[in-house]
Every structure is written in structure tokens, then in C-alpha cells.
Amino acid sequence: MLWPENVEIGSCSGYHRFQFHTWCLPLISITFWIFAHTSFFMTTFVNLSPLPLHLRLNRNRSSSSFHLHRSSTSPPFLLRKFTLPKRTVSSVLQTNNGVSSTSDSCSTEPNSFNNDVRIVAVVGDGAISPLKSASWIDVMSHTAERLKWIDDKYEMLVFTDNIHDLNPNAQNLQKVLTTANILLIVSVTKDESVEWIKRYSQNIPNVICFDSSPALENKLGGSFVSVGNKGSLFSKLNKKTKETLELAETISEAWIRHNSDDIRFCLLIIINAYIKPVPVLKNLRAQGFSTLNCMVKNCGRQVMNCLLDPNCRKALQCLNQCSPVDQVCNYKCIASYESPILEEFSLCVLQKHNCLDLDAKIPEKPNVTPMVNFRDQILSHDMAEDLFVGWLGNLDWSWRVVAGQNPAYDQFPCQYQLFYRGKARGSFWYEPVFQVKTLDGKLVWRRRKYRVKRGKVAGTFNFSVLDNGVVSNEYWTIVDVCEDFSWGLFHYSGAARVAGQSYTGAVLVSRNGEYPTNIDKNRLYLALDRCCIKEWELFDVDNCSCEDAPLGLPEGSRLHTILKPDESMIASDA
Ligand SMILES: *[C@@H]1O[C@H](CO)[C@@H](O)[C@H](O)[C@H]1NC(C)=O
Ligand SMILES: *[C@@H]1O[C@H](CO)[C@@H](O)[C@H](O)[C@H]1NC(C)=O
Ligand SMILES: *[C@@H]1O[C@H](CO)[C@@H](O)[C@H](O)[C@H]1NC(C)=O
């Protein structure tokens, strides 16, 4: 019995903050391993349907405008606020020679290829992405930087399709196309560009096209992946072709989520499948018999309990119906059916026995430095903790999240942060309180509790949390907090080691969750730059109906020691 969608594809796409949506991959894989190997479960769960196959590569113009339209229906309010055209990277790129050459400290800039991962991206000249209407050239140039965080030997060059044979840029593009092994084409529709690209890309084994002319074909591992009528042919395809199609499906599913993590993920899975293994995708590889053996030997009771419990089973069925890389879908399943039985299952299988034998590490890049001074004093550890404690005491919370960079987490409404000193000497805690919309449309509150330890440098911290049975460790940095406590920017990178997941993110916080009035935008831009985050990567947190949040502190908690926000410094905007 083949369950290719669980054995060969997988992951909930990688880079999240909370592992309750990160451990679903192992959970699904394990469970289907069991399904596939025991007749009891086969007969019980025959109704589980495999993932529908709908390839969305090479979408045409009208479907791309659908996505643009969709993103504009939820007004990107940060975009409205961030109108300062501080960065001119994109215009330089386009008028210069069309070659990516960003000047941030976050990037390096090759002009030719020296390594074995050689990606060329060609984007429509002036084409606008659905990521808060940032231009595709900006999005792809930033993707090139973000690839380097994974491995600085991954090379990606970005060009616009402003190509004709007299343009020096075209000669440069032609040159790099001779050695590229991945070509990514986005929003290229002009006939002459299409012809030009077809002429010079024949030898590239991997070509993927999005929002581009149907005349451009997708290729993976050297074979064309055609769209259309393959549904009926699917059953006749050989195993390798099936794998290719599934990979293509995973890519297109990830792509249409339109965030920088998923765009990078698309490239990583091609690299992983056709060029060389990508260690951060280790959890995509099938686990062998040792996994099952480990589970049966150590966690028989927990596995049985989960499979015999209607809710735990529903969670698995629900997860099976999500695309493995659709974080929102996967997360909703877990949130809707979250239970002690599910928690015991993952606590035993993953956390205690690491049956999948995974070992994700906290990403070291980008290297984000903490703020150094606050109100003309050198930041100390005590002061840094006070900054986290923020408005707590004046208000029932420390901070509320305005927007954040992590797609898996920051789409959830109403994020309150509680930071406080514990009863025990030197102890410090972080409790996020947030809403989740469940499958049946209900809004439920969730609350987690992190232990916080001081990092080496003031303004850095090590967080850890046991969440749904799996431990996550995170490294947090206070990037900036305004003197009047009107806003702050916190960066984090973390890993759920035994779930094989690592992730980075950042949150822009304010006193009441609204975009801070009178913000010094340059200062915010500088802070974002230090996180290597573009404003178009931020997701606005919906804070429209946040009444009755389960706030409140444990008895004996203590708040500020040195610094406090001064109510009178803030214009009344509560
Ligand atoms: C483009 O997509 C739309 C909607 O998906 C479809 O109706 C139309 O026929 C497509 N056009 C082409 C040229 O494929
Ligand atoms: C805190 O996290 C950093 C970054 O991951 C790590 O290097 C350091 O060892 C951690 N410190 C402690 C005490 O765990
Ligand atoms: C946040 O809440 C305020 C009211 O407190 C509301 O005006 C604003 O639209 C909300 N923003 C979002 C993104 O939901």
C-alpha cells in the first residue's frame, strides 16, 4: 500500500513559532505508517482520502490578478503607514542593469556562479507581487538573501525580463543561464521575453513558472511537468513521474500562500530533490522501520489511545486533508482538536523518545543584535527585562502585537504578551495569549507559558516552552523599544528540536495593538533592517474583537525594577 503523500512530501513548511503546528508532519507520517502496516487500521480508516492533486503551476494572468485582488481586500495597513520610500533598491535594480545587487548588510552579491546551487530568477519588469504589493524584484532579491541564511553557498541571481539582445543585462543573463540549475520565472508575459527565455534556458534541468505565459513550461529533474489533463493520466504514471508531480504540487501549494518563508521553501525543496540534500528539510525524508519500532516499544499505550479516541483521530484525519505545507490548515486541525491525548502522544513519541530521530537547531542567521542604550543609559539585564514587562501594571498586559513576520503565527487574532518576574528569585516568564479560529468557526483563546533566561548580552534571552508535548527553544532579542514605550520590535529564532522544525520571526508590539501614532518611521525601518526583515513581510494582527482575553498573573509575580513606562508621555489613544 502506497501513501506517497505522507512518505515523500511532508512538513508543515518549516518555519513556525509554535510547534503545535510543526509536529504535525511527524504525526501524520507515523500514523500513516501504522495505517499502512496494520489491517486493523486499514479497515477502520479506509475513508481517508489522499490529497487532491491540482497543480497550480504556471497560472495565467487572470488567476494571478485574482490573488492580487484577494490581498487588496484585506487592506495592508502597514503599507499605508510605511509610505516613506526610504529604500530605493528596486529602482536601482531596474535602472541599473536589472541584476540583483542589494546593499544591505544582510546580503552578499555574487555576479557569477561558484557553487553547486545556482538559481536564476527572472521577474516581469515592474511586476507587483501579492506580498503587500512589493515588487517581485524586491521579493526575489530578498529571497536570495534569505536563501543564504540557510546556506551561504546557495547562489541566486535576480533579473527583470527587460531583455533584448542589445542590453548588456541580457548578455549577463544569457551567461548565467548557461550554468544555472534552477530557473524561476515570475510574472513574465511579454512575448519577446518568453521567446528569449525559451531560447536560452533549454539546458536548465529545473524550471518553474508562476503567473507567467502558458508558453513557458515547467521542468523538474530534467522532465517537463505538464499542466492540464494529467488527472486522468495520473494512475498510469510511473513512480518517478508521480514523485515529480507531487513535488510540483507541493511547490505550487506553498507558492500560493505568498509569504517569504513559503517562497524560499519552494526553492529549498527543488534543491533538496534534484541538487543536494537540504539539512533543514531533513524531516521530509521518510523514516524507516526504526520509527515504528521505537513507537511500539516505548509508546504503545499513547499511540493506541490516540487512535481509539474520536477527537485525536479526527485531528489526524483533519491533518490528512490539509496540504502538508499549508500551515493555516494544519494549525486549525490541531487547534480544533487539541487534547491531552494528542499531547501525550507527541510527548512520548517525539519529546521523550525522539522516535523520528530529528535534531533541528536554532537558526544562527540572521544575526540580530540587541539595542544598546535606553533613555541614555547602557542597557542592563534588569532594564531589558523591564522593557519586556512593558505596560503590565498600568494595563493588564505587557504588549500587544501589531504585526509580525511569522506567517504561521502572526495571522492569529488578538495577541497579548505577558512578561513578568516570578516568585522565585531571578525567574522570569513569558505568556502569550492569543485567539485561534477553529475549524467550525469558533474563536478560542490559547495561552502558553515560556521560561525566560537571560542571554549572554543584555537584551537577549533564551526562552523555552513545552507546548502540546514538544519542547521549543527560542532565542529572543530586543531590537528596539521606543523611550515612551509606544512601540517595540522583538526578534526571535527558535527550534522544536525533536519535531525537526526551526524558524525565525519578529513582532512589532505596541501599547494597545494599534499601529503606534507618531512613530519615527526611520527608526522602525532601521530596526527592521537589523532583523533583515522587509516591511512587506509583516502580517497585520487582527485585533478587532479581543474582549475577555484570559489574562491575569500568577500570585506573587513581580513587575518592573528600574524602568517603567510613563503614562503621561503617551497621547491618550487607549
Ligand atoms: C486562465 O484562467 C482562467 C481561470 O482560472 C480560465 O477561465 C481561463 O480559461 C485561463 N486562460 C488561459 C489562457 O488558460
Ligand atoms: C541561549 O541561546 C543561544 C543561541 O541559541 C545559545 O548559543 C546559548 O547557548 C543559549 N544559552 C543557554 C544558557 O541555554
Ligand atoms: C486593531 O484594533 C483597532 C481598535 O482597537 C482597530 O481600529 C483596528 O482596525 C484593528 N486593526 C486590525 C489590523 O485589526
Summarised one tens digit per residue, pLDDT across range 93-136 is 232 333 444 444 555 455 678 889 999 999 999 999 999 999 99
With H, G, I as helix, E, B as strand and everything else as coil, classify residue 402: strand
Is 561 in contact with 382 (CB distance < 8 Å)?
Answer: yes
pLDDT at 51: 25
Confidence band for 324, pLDDT divided at 50, 70 and 90: low
Ligand 2 pocket member 380 (CB < 6 A): no
Query: For the residues 25-38, what does the mean pLDDT come to?
Result: 44
CB of 462 within 8 A of CB of 449? no
Report how far Cα 341 is from the mean position of its chain's Cα atoms. Answer: 27
Question: For ligand 2, is residue 451 a contact (CB within 6 Å)?
Answer: no
Please name the residue whose Cα sits nearest to atom 13 of ligand 3: 542
The answer to whether the CB of 402 falls within 8 A of the CB of 515 is yes
Instruction: State the pLDDT at residue 288.
Output: 61
Orientation angle between helical segments 136-150 and 89-96, nearest 10 degrees: 100
331 vs 90, residue with greater confidence: 331
Decide if pLDDT at 227 tops 70: no
State residue 401's pLDDT score.
97
Contacts of 338 (CB under 8 A, 6+ apart): 20, 315, 468
- pLDDT tens digits, 279-313: 877 755 445 667 888 988 999 999 899 999 998 88
Mean pLDDT of 425-447: 89
Q: Is the pLDDT of residue 145 over 70?
A: yes
Q: What does the alpha-carbon distance between residue 57 and residue 253 come to, in Å, rounded to a whole number? A: 9
Residue having the nearest C-alpha atom to atom 10 of ligand 1: 60
Q: If you average pLDDT over residues 384-404, what whole number do you get?
A: 96
Q: How confident is the model at residue 321 (pLDDT cuts 50, 70, 90)?
A: confident
Mean pLDDT of 364-376: 95
* Mean predicted lDDT score pLDDT of the chain: 77
Question: Hey, whose CA ends up nearest to atom 12 of ligand 3?
Answer: 542
Mean pLDDT of 157-179: 87
Of residues 123 and 81, more confidently modeled: 123
Distance from residue 412's CA to the centre of ligand 3 (Å): 13
Mean pLDDT of 380-395: 97
Binning pLDDT at 50, 70 and 90, where does residue 384 land?
very high
Q: DSSP states of 204-218 as a string?
A: -SEEEEESS-TTS-E
Question: If you average pLDDT over residues 143-166, what whole number do you get?
Answer: 90
pLDDT tens digit sequence for 538-565: 999 998 889 999 999 999 999 999 999 9
Q: What is the pLDDT of residue 67?
A: 25
> What is the predicted pLDDT for the residue at 26?
45
Lowest mean per-residue pLDDT among 158-162, 166-170, 177-181, 535-539: 166-170
Q: Which atom of ligand 1 is nearest to the CA of 60?
A: 1
Contact 433, 540 (CB under 8 A): no
The answer on pLDDT for 514 being more than 80 is yes
What angle separates helix 239-255 from helix 260-270, to the nearest 10 degrees? 160
362 lines ligand 2 (CB under 6 A): yes
Minimal-distance CA residue to ligand 1 atom 4: 63
Shortest-distance Cα residue to atom 3 of ligand 2:
475
DSSP per-residue string spanning 511-570? SSSSPPTT--HHHHHHHHHHTT--GGGPEEPP-S--TT------TT-B--SS----GGGS
What is the share, in percent, of the chain residues with pLDDT greater than 70?
Answer: 74
List the single range of 258-267, 362-371, 421-430 with lowest mean pLDDT: 258-267
What's the CA gap between 374 and 386, in Å, rounded?
11
Q: Which three cell numbers stand for residue 149?
A: 541564511
Query: Which pLDDT does position 226 carry in this prediction?
Result: 66
To which residue does cell 512520548 refer?
348
pLDDT at residue 218 above 80? yes
Sorted by where each starts, the structural domains of the chain and their CATH numbers stand as 26-59+286-352 (no CATH), 76-283 (no CATH), 373-573 (2.40.128.20)
The Å distance, Cα 413 to ligand 2 centre, comes to: 30
Is the model's pLDDT at 478 over the cut of 90? yes
